[in-house]
Amino acid sequence: MSRQYSPKTFLRQTPNPVLRRYFRSKGIDPEVDWDALTPRKIDALFDAIEALPDTQRDAVERDFRRIFDLATPRGRLLLIEQGTELGLGLDERLADMENHYEAAMVAFLDHRDVFEIVSCVHEMDRLGHWRKRRVGERLHATTEPERIEAFEAALRGIYRKQGRGRCCHVDRYQRRDPLRFCYFAYPEDFPTSDVEYDERRNFRRVTRRPVMENAFVYDPESGTLDISATGPREHKEALAEAFCKHILGLAALPPEDGRPRYTLAPAMDPSFEFPIEPEDGVARIEFKSIRLDYPDAEQTRITVSVTPNGTPNAIHTSMRRNLNPGTRPLRDLHPSQGQIVAEFKPVNGRRGKRVNTTITYPDRCSLGDDPHEQVVRHILHRAGLAND
């Protein structure tokens, strides 16, 4: 059953000490006898709030409604979870509160950053119009301001084609269990107008520019992107492509089947070898480096490098030497980028050509159309590293 906000119920449920702290923080004196207030006798405070100037009363009601939304068992758990994420250790403090209303009010007063994040997450759980899309496992979801600003600009461009979206703001948060990277976008919607009364009770029409709410949720383990936005499939695909390019660093939106064009997973097998055929004219081909991503919230990365000299499985020897399989088994690490060098056999007494290439999961490869590069591309296909 959905909960309905009631001012008097909110005042009855919220302990007086934190209510009093709230009004002090706002510089508002309701002029009531706080010692005389009880859960059954809150009319004096309700009447005092009603008597406030319109701007103050409206601000108080907006705050109380937001606090009310998080005054639930789930709201308290989300506040504790986000406090843990930020290293604040709110579990003991909020767990000892008298009720959910006090916990939500204390978070609003003392940990506003936590409160704002949880408000967004809570709102996301109530959004509709979701579309799920496979984009690739364990991709790096950026925190760089420049790339997030580029994403905002891309969203503005998408919505400007519809005659709206002149402004757009994006916030980024993380959720755990399972780990998800959440981006909330607020592009400007069409202007609209409302009829209202002003401070002098005069009847007037007011124009406002509301915002739309779009949510982008990337799950690195499942490799899925969930988007909440209104509009047809083509519009959501455009939003997904903007996210993939600017936030995940992909060249384009992956195809619907979700199959990566490039993968380094086969190379994690210690017995892996590049399948060279006589007609390739290749003397040797091997890895110079492999970048490994850890499955943690910090998106830790480590690059293992070797000097190519023809030693079999040199890259795997370096992995075992530099990484501790007892702490984190290699099978848990995701190979996201590899540098490969191929050395061709000498021709007519001339030194064989070298081709260096970098492949990045799931859709980037530095190879061009040179004949030698085409040979390397065929070898990558045979090795199961390329599907393009």
Same domain, residue pair 365 and 340? yes
CB atoms inside a 10 Å sphere around CB 56:
14
Q: Indicate whether 203 and 311 sit together in one domain.
A: no
- pLDDT at position 19, please? 94
CA distance 143 to 141: 7
Question: Which domain covers residue 178, as residue numbers?
Answer: 130-246
Q: pLDDT tens digits, residue range 193-221?
A: 777 777 777 777 877 788 888 999 999 98
Whether residue 135 sits in one domain with residue 115: no
**In the predicted model, is pLDDT for residue 287 greater than 90?**
yes
From 126, 155, 175, the end of a domain falls on 126
**What is the average pLDDT across 265-275?**
91
Tell me: cis bond preceding 178? Omega within 30 of 0 counts: yes
Domain end, chosen from 126, 149, 178, is at 126
CA distance 111 to 294: 30
Give CA angle at 269 (264, 272), nearest 5°: 85
What DSSP string describes 40-98? TB-HHHHHHHHTS-HHHHHHHHHHHHHHHHH-SHHHHHHHHHHHHHTT---HHHHHTSS
Please check whether residues 270 and 335 belong to one and the same domain: yes
Report pLDDT digits (tens) over 304-332: 999 888 787 889 888 888 887 667 777 88
Q: Could you give the CA distance from residue 136 to residue 336 in angstroms, rounded to a whole number?
A: 11
- pLDDT at 139 (0 to 100): 92
Q: Check pLDDT > 90 for residue 55.
A: no
* Domain count within the chain: 3
